[in-house]
Amino acid sequence: MKTPFITKEKAEEIIKQYPTPFHIYDEKGIRQRARDLYKAFSWNKGFKEYFAVKATPNPFILKILKEEGCGVDCSSLTELMMSDCCGFSGSDIMFSSNVTPKADFLKARELGAYINLDDFTHIDYLDDLCGIPETICCRFNPGGHFEIETQIMDNPGEAKYGFTREQLFEGFKVLQQKGAKHFGLHAFLASNTVSNAYYPKLARILFELAVELHEKTGADIKFVNLSGGVGIAYEPDKPQNDIFAIGEGVRKAFEDIMVPAGLGDVAIFTELGRYMLAPFGHLVATCTHHKHTYKEYVGLDACACNLMRPAMYGSYHHITVLGKENAPCDHKYDVTGGLCENNDKFAIDRMLPEIDTGDIIVIHDTGAHGFSMGYNYNGKLRSAEILLHEDGSFDMIRRAETPADYFATFDFTDIFDKYTKNNK
């Protein structure tokens, strides 16, 4: 079973001040996860984690990770702007994007970020726009299927990202001609892997490629970025990744391949999002309705606008009814929100304790790609975000939206004045 990091009593205390639904994050767990990651890769002097801002774009979370030594991985102008406001600059920022607008590249160059090019054509595009920096990174896509021990993990050949192998070698040569002096290599071949073998296998692919690029183009390889892809087990009965085993596997690949080639000083980077934050976030909601038709339905005050993953991917998220952790799971429910969409379900045919109106529901593992994927369909408003501190105190780190926020982009007209003038 999964155990919530808040009790019923703590939830009730928070709800008195901040009504459900809300996302809540566990500061203690976040800090410990970052410390364990750095310990697992401490063998590499240049190691740095670039947290994937897209996973949990909240400045209070970013500042915690900054205090733990992390940088940020940004994919858009607004993520760059948020990171800038949080004090990240220069080599603390990795800019990995695709189909990149001009303004985004210009901001990345202004901040001195590492730019990770997604496509061969972006070389001339960036050069014409603002010049090629001395240190540049390129994203590799090997094509085909990516397998671990004959199990297909993903299909890079169908992904829109990255250079082909031929484009990468040509790209390094062109970039050198345009003034690049130092290079990074990046790849993302599978998402949410729960396998200690993923990073070590990816590392071997990238290390062997880095050695070949260095030997054939003379490029100075400064870092290898393993990107993200290390995931979590959302199901309670599945084993989790062991970051120390993963770090050891990457170390062995590094010593087998990079050190003999004279590349023992190359830094290892990661861009983890889900692994860093998902287990340390809950969506907290309240049961407001029951429906008895062809199935038994439990209706919450949260909906897919607060957590899209189950509706979008059919993803499993564990559910705990606070105060009933030890009660028998002898009732079968569809747990739903109130959207006008039949896929607005957090769980289907889920065995849970008997749920009463007013019960507080915790939906687990929402710390990454939870709030950040929210939207406003049906005029639903995004929830608050709360940070639970190590001492048990808590703070709001994003207020809940109001109707005034929803109507704010109509500020060029007076149609909604009655709802916005006195509600900002």
The residue type at 378: N
Q: Rounded to 5 degrees, what angle do the CA atoms 411, 55, 103 make?
A: 55
Structure tokens at 226: 């393993």
Q: Please say whether the beta carbons of 267 and 47 come within 8 A.
A: yes
- Tokens 């920096």 correspond to 133
What's the full length of the chain, in residues?
A: 424
No. of helices (H) and no. of strands (E), the chain:
13, 19
305 belongs to the catalytic site = no
Q: What end-to-end distance do the CA atoms of the chain give, in Å?
A: 42
| Largest distance between two CA atoms of the chain | 71
Hey, CA dihedral for 326, 327, 330, 332, is it positive or negative? negative
Among 74, 86, 138, 340, the active-site one is 340
In sequence order, the 6+-apart residues with CB closer than 8 A to the CB of 421 are: none
Q: Please say whether the beta carbons of 277 and 25 come within 8 A.
A: yes
Active site residues: 340
